[in-house]
Structure 1
């Protein structure tokens, strides 16, 4: 390997490790965010083109993927409008593209596991990332509950998706039937923001139903980012970054020596 190869490869490694550290820091920052799916960084060797059949290392390439299929722990919150999915599937959500007084929901349809829903001023269920919960793909408005003194004390979701609110006086109100979106290739969903994803050609179109999944009210799925695991990865990545720095510094010193010899 030439000195220029050492410089190129160590620079590639520094860039890759810096990118990995950025993903790890995001995972740590969202370790307490409901429904958050950690982002993993994958590395692959790049092979440089050479002559006579010999093959030299050509740096590193990287890719990222959200761990969408790794479920977080379902934890009770005591908040009646919170919802958690056990099994495969995503809530169907949309952003409010209008205002608080005149909401509009003509934006892109998203899919999320973030179920920390609460009623807004209109009684629409919206999660902590600002996405509104829809019962199904053909619904024109979000799921709506009563507010104030008539707000539900509990919600219940049947295995068929029937959503029922129970009030303080014991009376119940049917809120309709909700469904989940499920994908053949969920690992290929495209990240949007706030733990929300969009369907892609590789994920396939959504199928609607429960197909073995269930929804629990008064609970949320916690982040699947383990702090201990992420800190261990951070230490490993920092060490790799430091090693690439040493290689770059050594190559730089050797290049300076070579330049000095000819000056």
Structure 2
């Protein structure tokens, strides 16, 4: 029986080495397949039941051993929608069932892959090279909150990003305590010439101060006003339709500290409404509040730190409800030899409508869109799933995997892993290692054939006895 058992054992050895060679062949064939996880071969001895002093080494069985948890090299592709997982986890994907475009239907199942060569198709879906569609959750571009709780197939279209009307202008500047107005150049030592003098504008409706009077500079007084004020900078703002117009600001000092006794440095802000106005047509309009400073140059009023700009129509575009936000320390009054305003920052929060220019992926898995109007918004959150036993997942075509009882349920979330945009994970196959295994496998296979040859010779000797 020993010779015949040796024959069957050698055959099992040949079968096991053939199985190993099949895995080696597949690994080498997929050495350039993105996201591929090689399959190693493990061997187990098969021992027949027998008495303790009659036990034999037995035959062998070959089994596959997954390497799903072994990461391949990350390769930079410079394609913004490509993404690789640095650490454990899998992209959650789905397969198309039928239909095209917005009528595409999917399997409504979740598959898992490390293949991250995603790119947009003609309908705005992110699809990898094996035809799997990326799943995730949409993000509200206004609130920044994730919509829904379950991952769904992501579709990002080229729809317009709506315009936003300007509501606030962040203003950071230093106002000179002694403004160098045009009128003051005739007598620099006379502080009164650095002030806006209402008497130069007539009476009633032509009074340029916000109180008393209407706070309007008429076209016929523009030259006088320009000689009494200094420029405060300009900024482009937007209405609700995204139409742009430029807001030009000028500052005029109205009161010097101590004149009369107890007075504080006081300024008025004006907005250009129509700089080419003539006659009684409004050219500049004053803001609703006066601005005051104490002896240290700190702004004391308005206490809120907000200066409400007047409602004006500039070049046909109406602007309203805009606050000039200076905070508690954004606007100061300190000495400046130039006598001009030093505007450190003028920024507003409105923008025109825009279209999606490009997308990128952050380390946390957010799909971020950059729009033609300069806005950058998070559009979606890529779903990443982890498993307690990721090597127990079932392999599918195209580098995808399917959940099994042995793998456990998916844990949605990237955990300690990070996502790297513009990169793709390569196959974790090591060609040199596979060649080494192939040589060992070939030698083991040849050794098993030698066992069969030896057993054959021994049987021939047995048959020769009969002769």
The two structures have a TM-score, normalised by structure 2, of 0.52
Is 1:223 the counterpart of 2:431? The answer is no
Structure 2: runs of 5 or more not aligned: 138-148, 160-354
CA pair 4-28 structure 1, distance change in 2 beyond 3 A: same
Matches within 5 A, 1:2-17: 2-17=2-17
Structure 1, residues 124-172: CA drift from partner, whole Å, max 9, x if none? 111111111101582343343549xx7754512242x321133688654
Matches within 5 A, 1:65-84: 65-84=65-84
Verify the 8 A CA contact 2:31 2:430 in the aligned structure 1: yes
Matches within 5 A, 1:85-96: 85-96=85-96
Verify the 8 A CA contact 2:90 2:113 in the aligned structure 1: yes
Verify the 8 A CA contact 1:77 1:219 in the aligned structure 2: yes
In structure 1, the partner of 2:151 is 139
C-alpha distance in 1, partners of 2:128/2:38? 19
More helix by proportion, 1 or 2? 1
In structure 1, the partner of 2:448 is 244
Structure 1: runs of 5 or more not aligned: none
Flag the structure with more relative contact order, 1 or 2, with Cα contacts below 8 A and sequence separation at least 6. 1
CA shift for structure 1 position 40: 0.7
In structure 2, the partner of 1:189 is 393
Verify the 8 A CA contact 1:134 1:143 in the aligned structure 2: no
CA shift for structure 1 position 24: 0.5
Is 1:156 the counterpart of 2:368? The answer is no
In structure 2, the partner of 1:209 is 413
| Alpha-carbon RMSD | 2.4
CA pair 44-171 structure 1, distance change in 2 beyond 3 A: same
CA pair 188-17 structure 1, distance change in 2 beyond 3 A: same
CA shift for structure 1 position 53: 3.5
CA pair 38-151 structure 1, distance change in 2 beyond 3 A: farther
C-alpha distance in 2, partners of 1:215/1:89? 10
CA shift for structure 1 position 255: 2.5
In structure 2, the partner of 1:108 is 109
CA shift for structure 1 position 195: 1.5
2:436 to 227, 232, 237: 232
Matches within 5 A, 1:40-59: 40-51=40-51, 53-59=53-59
CA shift for structure 1 position 58: 1.9
C-alpha distance in 2, partners of 1:251/1:169? 82
Structure 1, residues 204-237: CA drift from partner, whole Å, max 9, x if none? 1111111111111110111111111111111111
C-alpha distance in 2, partners of 1:19/1:99? 40
CA pair 247-100 structure 1, distance change in 2 beyond 3 A: farther
C-alpha distance in 2, partners of 1:29/1:166? 39
In structure 2, the partner of 1:255 is 459
C-alpha distance in 1, partners of 2:52/2:76? 64
CA pair 183-262 structure 1, distance change in 2 beyond 3 A: same
CA shift for structure 1 position 247: 1.1
C-alpha distance in 1, partners of 2:411/2:437? 36
Q: Secondary structure of 2:50's match?
A: coil
Structure 1, residues 31-79: CA drift from partner, whole Å, max 9, x if none? 1111111101000111122235420122101211211111111110112
Alignment size in residue pairs: 260
The two structures have a TM-score, normalised by structure 1, of 0.89
CA pair 184-196 structure 1, distance change in 2 beyond 3 A: same
CA pair 240-107 structure 1, distance change in 2 beyond 3 A: farther
CA shift for structure 1 position 81: 1.5
Q: Secondary structure of 2:408's match?
A: coil
